[in-house]
Amino acid sequence: MYWTLELASKMEDAPWPATKDELIDYAIRSGAPMEVFENLQELEDDGEIYESIEEIWPDYPSKEDFFFNEDEY
């Protein structure tokens, strides 16, 4: 399983929290690239509920990772 920023961004608007099956369904309905679907298929299916993309890809950058000051604009 590999994630890139582009692939992970396709899951930002997913219906969090969600199960593996719900995430796969969302990826299909939203027209996400096949790689997203394949990555989700590789998740363990133990009925776990994922709260956010960070639980699937811990390296997903947060807003704090970018040096952008919203107050300046």
Reduced 3-state DSSP string for 12-60: CCCCCCEEHHHHHHHHHHHCCCHHHHHHHHCCCCCCCEECCHHHHCCCC
> pLDDT tens for residues 27-47?
999 999 999 999 999 998 788
Amino acid at residue number 41: Q
- Note the pTM of the prediction, 2 decimals: 0.79
Per-residue tens of pLDDT for the chain, all 73 residues: 788 888 988 998 999 999 999 999 999 999 999 999 999 999 987 888 999 998 988 887 765 555 556 666 5
